[in-house]
Amino acid sequence: MNEVVITGLGFVSPIGQSAVEVLDHLRAVRSGISLWSAKGFTKTFPAGIVHGDFDDHFEKKDLPYLDRVTKMSVAAAEQALADAGLPPGLGEPGPRAGVFAGTVSGGAETQTQWLRDFSAGDKQTARPFTLMAGMHNAPAAWISIRHRIVGPVITHTSACSSSGAAIGDALRWIRAGDLDLAIAGGCEATLNAPVMGAWDGLRALARPDADDVGRSCRPFSRDRSGLVLAEGAVFFVLESAEHAAARGARIHATLSGYGIACDAHHVGSPHSRGQTAAVTAALRDAGLQPSELSYINAHATATPTGDPVEAASLRAALGDAADVVPVSSTKAQHGHMLGAASAMELGVCVLAMQHDFLPATAFLDDIDPGCPLRHVPVVAERDVQIRHTLSLSAGFGGTNTALVLSKR
């Protein structure tokens, strides 16, 4: 069984468009959440907004085929390849390379714009290439086209665990010896009025904080009011350790464990059994005991029902270690990136491991007693040696994923 390592990181996120920028936000515990509004939409919401259109990554002739989610994904993947020291295109077409992406909504901007045009009654035929721009698999397809990757190109959509499943799938392909290298991660671009309105219908969105909109997302807090939606794309280069060593690549971390489990409970409400099973499976896959974990990045979205369920899940999976293993949710800073959430939070774990700090749950001034964990509130803890980390993600429909990183 091949060891799988991370050699490249690529971030397009509300707290930075490079690893350096994301690291700076995490250590300073600085929020990337601001106020979002849309033309013709009377409500405003806090959101994790990525600034820029990323058109400069493409030729003009390609732009009609591209949704915002694809543009961000290609930018993040190119950043990851550059960080891994790999050339654009990877040389010759590669059957030993693959692309694995996770997304909830794919080309949501394209899809909703066409529905607006149709509903307005002035158009009955979409603009050319609308279908291709709106496809869920468009980001993965464009990454493969640009880099001549002819191995498996697979898109996962299991709600908020989508990119966790994509990364875990890539891990398994490389471990089995069927691939040498994969570009894996997740993407989302759903900050538009119809999507916001749908989430508002669930009564799940946070209210803008009256004093500072950047404080609107407060996971594990007694006064949390809901989740904050965010956009972005985060991709990694994964390789077999042997392949990475042969080309002299710098290694960020070992991707040592993966667990996936469904709670089979309710399409919109989590249950501890699925989350606990995913964590337990990931630890078993990594060959670790719970007490060997140095840090956990929790899914914790700041919803009234979700956070206590997750706390109970972690306590069940960790046993006595639940009182000593540090836990935080960085969604307080970057928001909930949906299909990109797992990838973003795994990236946070990589940076924490590399730079010896525990990321904080920002704005956690008043911990909910219903979420009894060893929290890292308000301020990041510095000079902490991190050997193994775990990131947990939970999605609507009940699919949960957990990923374990280990220092080499």
What is the DSSP-derived secondary structure letter of residue 386? -
> Quick check: 181 and 238 in contact, CB under 8 A?
yes
> Quick check: 389 and 296 in contact, CB under 8 A?
yes
Same domain membership, residue 297 and residue 384: yes
What pLDDT does residue 114 have?
65
What pLDDT does residue 271 have?
85
Q: Is residue 252 part of a domain?
A: no
Same domain membership, residue 303 and residue 210: no
Same domain membership, residue 142 and residue 35: yes
396, two tokens: 């609507």
What pLDDT does residue 91 have?
61
Q: What is the CATH number of the domain that holds 162?
A: 3.40.47.10
Same domain membership, residue 188 and residue 298: no
Same domain membership, residue 289 and residue 146: no
What pLDDT does residue 133 have?
84
What pLDDT does residue 315 have?
98
What pLDDT does residue 204 have?
92
Crossing angle of the two packed helices 108-119 and 193-201, in degrees rounded to 10:
100
Residue 170: alpha-carbon gap to chain centroid: 15
User: What is the domain extent for residue 66?
Assistant: 4-246
Same domain membership, residue 202 and residue 93: yes
Same domain membership, residue 236 and residue 271: no
Which amino acids are annotated catalytic?
160, 299, 336
What pLDDT does residue 266 have?
87
Number of domains in the chain: 2
Residue where one domain finishes, among candidates 246, 276, 301:
246
Q: Is residue 351 part of a domain?
A: yes
167, two tokens: 């990364």
What pLDDT does residue 93 have?
57
What pLDDT does residue 269 have?
79
Q: Is residue 340 part of a domain?
A: yes
Name the residue among 236, 178, 254, 326 with its Cα closest to residue 8: 236
> Quick check: 259 and 279 in contact, CB under 8 A?
yes
C-alpha dihedral sign at 56, 57, 60, 62: negative
* pLDDT mean values, one per 10 residues, the chain (408 residues): 96 98 98 93 94 92 92 97 88 80 92 74 78 92 94 96 98 97 97 91 94 98 97 98 96 98 87 95 98 98 96 98 98 98 98 98 98 98 97 94 97
What pLDDT does residue 1 have?
86
